[in-house]
Structure 1
Amino acid sequence: MQKYFELTSALEYIEDHMLDNCSQADIAHAACVSLSALQKMFRFTFGYSINEYIMKRKMTTAAEELSETKIPVADLAFKYGYTSTEAFSRAFSKVNCVLPSEYRKGKRAQAVFTPLQIDDTGIRRKSPLLIEAVHRAKDCYIVCFDVAGMVKINEISKEAGNLALMEAVRRIHTHAVENMQIFRIGGDEFALITPYPNISDAEAFAAGVLAHNGEPFFYKGQPVPLYLRSWYGKNVLTEAAPNPAKELQQKVKYQGVTEIQNEK
């Protein structure tokens, strides 16, 4: 229970002081634990460093502001602690897979990096926007995609990995129609909430995106072929889901729907 108290205190402090540029030492002090102990505990429990978690939470809330307000990107960058719009845009695209300007235009993949919660039942992450979107389309198909060979792309560089994710989102948007919502539900996994009640339409949409398989994106002038995989199915999320994104990913993937694959 002591560990839960320390981690919960750290998570609450981060959420309350996200825009204060608080240091890791400040967070450890608030959690009544040494900095080294908190760093080890945080990464072991959640799989993220403290700084990575803070960055992803900042960019998720910044994305919400971009879509709901008209605040200039430069002002938003300053608000979230960045000294330039370029640095802010790089961080933003790592989490949301598009630049801020494209996100505001609607070419987005909504991140579901909502605050973590931990208790005796385990780790929970609420995703109200994802649940709401699925409930609105509960009789329709959800089409999911991921990047094949992402580990090898990241071995080239993390920057190449980020470009691969941005290209994946661009391809999905190329075939998306109005009112479709895209959510980033994992490291390289995306869910598209469609208006299609028939599996044939979902299959056709997935096939359209996968028709681009093998087309390259460019990293430092060099072509890197990109391949996506897809699966799809109907699903209804529950309000009580401890991690809606993970539940969606598993329920859709393991419904028995044939997975489309077209990779090298």
Structure 2
Amino acid sequence: MLDRLNRAVEHVEAHLDQRIDAAELARIAMTSEYHFRRLFSALAGIPLSEYVRRRRMTVAGAEVLAGERTLLEIAVRHGYGSAEAFARAFRAVHGVGPGEARRTGAVLRAQQRISFRLVVEGSSTMRYRVVEKEAFRVAGRKARVPLVHVGANPAIAEFVRGIAPETVRRMAALSDQEPRGVVAVSDDLDPSRAEGTELDYYHGVVTGAEVPGDLDVLAVPAGTWAVFESSGPFPQALQFLWRDVFTQWFPSNPYQSRPGPEILRVDVVEGEGGEETRADAELWIPVERTTA
């Protein structure tokens, strides 16, 4: 898998002066575009689109300082229709415009080329199971919130606090299958999964029952799910669990992620006498077997 990812990175390098198609990169990596974007983001630490932008501006920065081409020629070479659009993109990465950089020999920022290598860890184990589920519905309350990678999500916390206790009790009564109880559901995430992009968050239950009209409903088709178990400090352990699923489990198992909601069932244990708050959790990720 890592070899295929590195071939995709080589394709990026060879086509920085052209439009780079994520679907073509996924084909080279022999996986779906959906899974490729998520795996790249998890392993590289930045979204694919941001990596491409930084690499393109790194190469452009060297050309600006070299002074062998006009700024317009460099802009066109890297796919920008005007010097103004190029200057905005250049400044966003380097903190200085290309004209000023050329005049003053400014210090620029370089995005190093990514190379994926095997690091032998594997001393820890992940608890998981694979489940086939029939179609079901998520019933509850829905909000559009920003994605937060580390720490608590204030928007989600405020949204959940605003749900009436009676509404939560009515939702809980609808729970009739795994994962049981009130769950947190994330859906319609931006493919880049960049910090600050938005997602649909449902605070609700998984059910096959009829849903009252005052609740939001998400219909989920039948499919395969990988279910991961975790225990640890809240909320760090939950966020690290998602990271480990994509950086450790997927590269080591014959599965890839598929479009669909991610479902988190969590039991939070409040600490006493200064002890940290802990959580026991199940994370449900929609998956499919790889063909390669």
TM score, norm. by length of structure 2: 0.39
**Larger RCO, structure (CA 8 Å, separation 6 or more):** 2
Higher strand content, 1 or 2:
2
Q: Larger Rg: 1 or 2?
A: 2
TM-score by length of 1: 0.43
Greater share of residues in helix: 1
